[in-house]
Chains A and B, each alone.
Chain A
Amino acid sequence: MKIRIVPIIIVLLTYAVLQILISTGFLNPYWQQIIGFAGIMTISALGLNIIYGYTGQFSLGHAAFYGIGAYTSALITKSFPHLGLFGFILSFFAAGIVVALIAFLIGMPILRLKSDYLGIATLGLGIIVKVVFDNADAVIPKLGGSRGMGGIAHFTNFPWIFFMTVAAVIIVRNFVYSTVGRACISIREDEIAAESVGIDTTRYKTMGFVLGCVFAGIAGVLYAHLYAFLHPSNFDFLKSIDVLLIVVLGGLGSISGTIVAAIGWTFLLEGLRVLLPPQILDWRLVIYPLLLIVVMILRPRGLFGGKEFKFLKG
């Protein structure tokens, strides 16, 4: 395995710079949280990129797994507060396992549907999961249901966000240029042709789907312990659309595009909040979709259109 020195140095430098800005108080807690969201959206979007950008499976239910990860981990850290940081790390594994299991069980029957129908089925799944979240407190009162779940410990800080995001990028990049990744790409390109050269499409589609959903779950864990309050309305269809937006905006099948789009999108929404004078602050949510439409018309293949930064190529 080639150890590329230059990217490693750049990553460590970026971390150092940002960490200094945070520790000296230059970046106040508000911006720290925004950076946190940017990292979380990046991880979640990378997951959807695996499912849709690389394997070609149109999934509109990504937020459901994001939510499952968030609620599972929050339940663990709230139920075992004496475990402290170890409990947090444990909750990652718990969330990952639960999400993987559900994604596997649901993926097996659903992934045989074709593109638009798969989108509908995953959309329906997302709504069903949201209704489950709304009523979850009937079964497990701690989960809060539609009253929301609060009082979660703030374990997520900048080092966690940064290094988990970097780890996610490394995992996705290695996945894409591996045998499994190439099988998935072939499924996206032409499923029938892939089958006829002997690729077990069901197996690889499920693998891609499960991996992508686990990414969403991990992002959910970080989110739960950053925002410290969970409400089912944060995990609905509109949230799935947000992630889809980011993946398409960045360019399907481009890791660099997803990273840039996720960070850019988070800062765009916040930047508009800062830039616009208070009288027309409501216009923030009008300008955002207009920008979206303009970008889509001008660059329909997304910002990066399938290209990658050099250091991410294999």
Chain B
Amino acid sequence: MTYFLQQLINGLQLGFVYALIALGYTMVYGIVRLINFAHGDVFMIGAYLGFFAIGSFHLPFPLALAFAMAGCAVLGMAIERIAYKPLRSAPKIAALITAMGVSLFLEYFTSLNFVFGPNYLAFPIPFKVTVYQVGGLSISTIQIIVFATAIILLVILQYIVQKTKIGMAMRAVSYDKETASLMGINVNMVISLTFGIGSAMAGAGGVLYGVAYPQINPFMGIMPGLKSFVAAVLGGIGSIPGAMLGALIMGVVETMSSAFISSTMRDAIAFSILILVLLFKPTGLLGKKGSEKV
């Protein structure tokens, strides 16, 4: 039983990191209907920015986090401006392929030797790690920091989206872009901001991932990016609570399968569950049932 709870905690740790990435996917999809395949690589850049902030500039954890989030926000907005904006009126698939191009570019450019290099780097941990024993379960400082940071960021995001004017603008644009612009909303700015916030979240996810699983390399964003995207779809793409729910489920399922069934089959099990859910709830767990107008 304690083993089960222990794995549950590990799963939630992974799930919260996935949640931070999944939010970016779901927000961008909600607003421009684009699957931003480059998002996983923004996550990777966040981890590297954290690596440099802590390792080279010796910043304390909150500042390093802020640095990574700011850097990723800028990167995300730049990618949107350069690669996606020209394709806004083009067929969706063109933007998708461009997103893949950006993803490949980020991966291979950072693996060049004069940038980050292709090797695994060890992520420095900027605070003292103690393992607390609570009723037979081990909880380390790392897990507490991951939970706390993720939950704080998620609450802040929820506040921004639901309670501020800019959040209302974001929701309006994702509902109906043309009408939102008729209502005086600067759609371009809102889209840039959405990319920026989503990327900042991914950057935070990168730093937390680096802290929790301290090996980083330029290709580390592929699988977590994929799984977070699947999590966003699982929860209902376009829905922020859905992305959080989907990500936590994915994290827990992956960790549990690895612990109780087999670690080589864990991806297969996680994705099988996804397919099963989609077959019964085609728009995801919390997705809105869209009605098709003929």
Q: A-side interface residues toward B, CB under 8 Å?
A: 109-110, 112-114, 116-117, 119-121, 123-125, 127-128, 131-132, 134-135, 192-193, 237, 241, 244-245, 248-249, 252, 282-283, 285-286, 288-290, 292-293, 296-297, 300-301
Contact = CB atoms under 8 A, between A and B. Distances in A.
A117 B98 contact: no
B98 A124 contact: no
B105 A131 contact: no
Interface string B126-149: 000000000000000000000000
A300 B90 contact: yes
Contact of B272 (A114, A128, A134, A296): A128
A121 B237 CA distance: 14
A113 B278 contact: yes
A286 B108 CA distance: 6
A205 B100 CA distance: 26
Size bracket of the B interface: 35 or more
Given A131-B265, A289-B102, A297 B87 contact: yes
B237 A116 contact: yes
Contacts of B272: 124, 128
A120 B229 CA distance: 9
B93 interface: yes
Interface of B: 35, 83, 86-87, 90-91, 93-98, 100-105, 108-109, 111-113, 226, 229-230, 233, 237, 264-265, 267-268, 271-272, 274-275, 278-279, 282-284, 292, 294
Given A121-B275, A282-B112, A297-B83, A128 B268 contact: yes
A192 B103 CA distance: 35
Among A117, A125, A283, max chain B CB count under 10 A is at: A117
Contact of B265 (A121, A135, A289): A135
A248 B101 contact: no
Nearest to A299: B94
Nearest to A113: B282
Main secondary structure of the interface of B (DSSP, over half): helix
A97 B209 CA distance: 44
A300 B275 contact: no
Given A286-B105, A293-B105, A131 B98 contact: no
A110 B275 CA distance: 8
Given A192-B294, A248-B93, A296-B98, A134 B264 contact: yes
A121 B98 contact: no
A258 to B, nearest CB: 14
A248 B97 contact: yes
A120 B233 contact: yes
Which of A124, A132, A245 gathers most chain B CB within 10 Å?
A: A124
A286 B109 contact: yes
Contacts of B237: 116
Given A117-B282, A293-B101, A296-B98, 4 more contacts: A113-B279, A113-B282, A244-B97, A297-B86
Contacts of A192: 292, 294
B101 A127 contact: no
Nearest to A291: B101
A289 B112 CA distance: 14
Nearest to A285: B108
8 contacts: A109-B279, A110-B275, A114-B282, A119-B35, A120-B229, A245-B100, A296-B97, A296-B101
